[in-house]
Amino acid sequence: MNLLIATRNTHKTKEIAQILGSRFNVTDLASHPEIPATVESGTTFRENAALKAVEASRIFPGLVLSDDSGLEVDALGGAPGVYSARYAGEDSDDVRNRKRLLEELDRAGAKDGTRTARFRCVMALAEGGQVTGLFEGVVEGRIIGHEKGDGGFGYDSLFVPEGYTETFAELSDEIKNRESHRSRALEKVRDHLFRE
């Protein structure tokens, strides 16, 4: 089954392809320069995921999957949320985003016991300019005070999922792909596609 992932984030594409397995021929927007980037103007993960999937599916003749995901930290009122990828500014990168997160937690006086957080992922399937399904996955955990591990990307080196003592950046791909917010949303996507 051909599936276009509406992203240019190679880490995300690789993770999705690994989780979905060999029954899917996964490509992303890097292979389709004719599809422009979508302005993520939504205020929720659901809105942004749907926007990206619908816009790409108006050009791509097949099934499109997009996601919008991010980190929600309770001590920061749910921030960075939909702004996770650009938390330190429009031109930010993972290093600056993580630095700002730790600074904001220190400024808020959040100690280890109050640094509860979750990764949330909403995925949208679309075809022919119409959303055909929305799927959500969440993983609860906590933010630690310094980076640990050199795997993963984004906030993985600061996030310890419930039931583990290691960060996502320290856990194996096999464990992360089973426990992550993205994998939990993808399980629902896969069930939906195989049921049809």
Q: Is 68 a catalytic residue?
A: yes
| Per annotation, catalytic residue among 68, 91, 106, 191 | 68
Compute the distance between CA of residue 75 and CA of residue 8 in angstroms, rounded to an integer.
31
Distance of CA 80 to the CA centre of its chain: 13
191 phi/psi in degrees, rounded to 5: -60, -40
DSSP for the chain?
-EEEES---HHHHHHHHHHH-TTSEEEEGGG-TTSPPPP---SSHHHHHHHHHHHHHTTSSS-EEEEEEEEEEGGGTT-BGGGGGGTT-TT--HHHHHHHHHHHHHHTT--GGG-EEEEEEEEEEEETTEEEEEEEEEEEEEE-SS---SSSSTTGGGEEETT-SS-TTTS-HHHHHHHSHHHHHHHHHHHHHHH-
Active site residues: 68
